[in-house]
């Protein structure tokens, strides 16, 4: 997995970006830079309708590519999904989305990369194996290590079902105790299923496992957004 992870610094109209040298090595959570609305097609701010002139300058949001006045596009916010090195100018709506994503990158992906331990059952087997599960550093694979070794590409995952316990008809707290994962085997249409169950013994931290499962659920949604 590490051979094709080299990155290069590139300059675009939007700013400096640190991107993988090979397109195939991109993170499944990445976004392409949007095309900018041409200046000639944007005589007014696309938010407040203020007319552009020598005093009121036009600015492009780095996330959506639309054209705004300085007042409507003044925030500079990190945009890790586009690999920008520094915070970049964004409109108010995009800045809010990017701020939420930054929290996702800072917290959820770190939880997944740190890993957690589960009993893993493959397909319809009645045997399970204790494995350490983590997200690879390039964010492209779910890596499972035990007596066996698996690498599941995130973009091949089709279904993530979180298993919980503690729900009552009158409401109440639930706790994630496992996960059923379905994914396609590269090069075929075959769908493989894996079941992850948090261990009940003291060697498995239940709180860590629950946090890892919650993060995995959020990651699967983010990856599907990109594919959609």
Give me the pLDDT at residue 126, please.
Answer: 85
Query: Is a pLDDT exceeding 80 seen at residue 219?
Result: no
CA distance 161 to 123: 15
Residue 199: name the closest of 151, 150, 129, 148 by CA. 129
- For 85-118, the pLDDT digits (tens) are 999 999 999 999 998 888 777 788 889 999 999 9
pLDDT interval class at 56 (50, 70, 90): very high
Long-range contacts made by residues 217-220, C-beta under 8 angstroms, separation at least 24? 217/160, 217/162, 217/179, 218/104, 218/108, 219/29, 219/108, 219/109, 219/112, 219/135, 219/154, 220/154, 220/157, 220/160
Give me the pLDDT at residue 172, please.
Answer: 56
| Degrees, nearest 5: CA angle 143-146-150 | 35
Q: How many CB atoms lie within 10 A of CB 17?
A: 19
Question: What are the sequence ranges of the domains in the chain?
Answer: 7-111, 115-167+175-225
The pTM of the full predicted model, rounded to 2 decimals, is 0.68
Give me the pLDDT at residue 227, please.
Answer: 35
Tell me the CATH number of domain 7-111, given options 3.40.950.10, 3.30.40.10, 2.30.30.140, 3.20.20.450.
3.30.40.10
- Output helix, strand, coil percentages for the chain, rounded to the nearest 5: 25, 35, 40
Could you give the 3-state DSSP secondary structure of residue 172? coil
Residue 146: name the closest of 174, 183, 177, 120 by CA. 120
CB neighbour burial string for 101-140, b if at least 16 within 10 angstroms, e if fewer: bbebbeebbebbeebbbbbbbeeeeeebeebebbbbebbb
Whose tokens are 């009121």? That residue is 56
CA distance 218 to 139: 14
Just give the CATH number of 115-167+175-225.
2.30.29.160
Residue 75: name the closest of 94, 47, 52 by CA. 94
């Amino acid at each position: 997995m590490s051979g094709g992870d080299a990155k290069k610094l590139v300059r675009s109209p939007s700013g400096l970006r640190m991107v993988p040298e090979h397109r195939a090595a991109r993170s499944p959570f990445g976004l392409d830079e949007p095309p900018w609305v041409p200046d000639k097609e944007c005589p007014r701010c696309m938010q407040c309708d203020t007319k552009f002139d020598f005093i009121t300058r036009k600015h492009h949001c780095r996330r959506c590519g639309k054209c705004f006045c300085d007042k409507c596009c003044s925030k500079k916010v990190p945009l890790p999904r586009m690999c920008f090195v520094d915070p970049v100018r964004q409109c108010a709506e995009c800045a809010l989305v990017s701020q939420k994503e930054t929290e996702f990158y800072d917290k959820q992906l770190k939880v997944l990369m740190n890993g957690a331990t589960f009993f893993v059952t493959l397909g319809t087997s009645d045997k399970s194996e204790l494995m350490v599960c983590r997200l690879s550093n390039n964010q492209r694979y779910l890596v499972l290590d035990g007596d066996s070794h698996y690498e599941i590409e995130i973009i091949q995952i089709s279904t993530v079902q979180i298993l919980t316990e503690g729900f009552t008809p009158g409401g109440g707290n639930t706790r994630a105790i496992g996960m059923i994962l379905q994914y396609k085997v590269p090069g075929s249409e075959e769908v493989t299923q894996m079941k992850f169950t948090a261990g009940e013994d003291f060697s498995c931290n239940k709180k860590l496992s629950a946090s890892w499962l919650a993060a995995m659920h959020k990651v699967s949604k983010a990856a599907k957004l990109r594919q959609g």
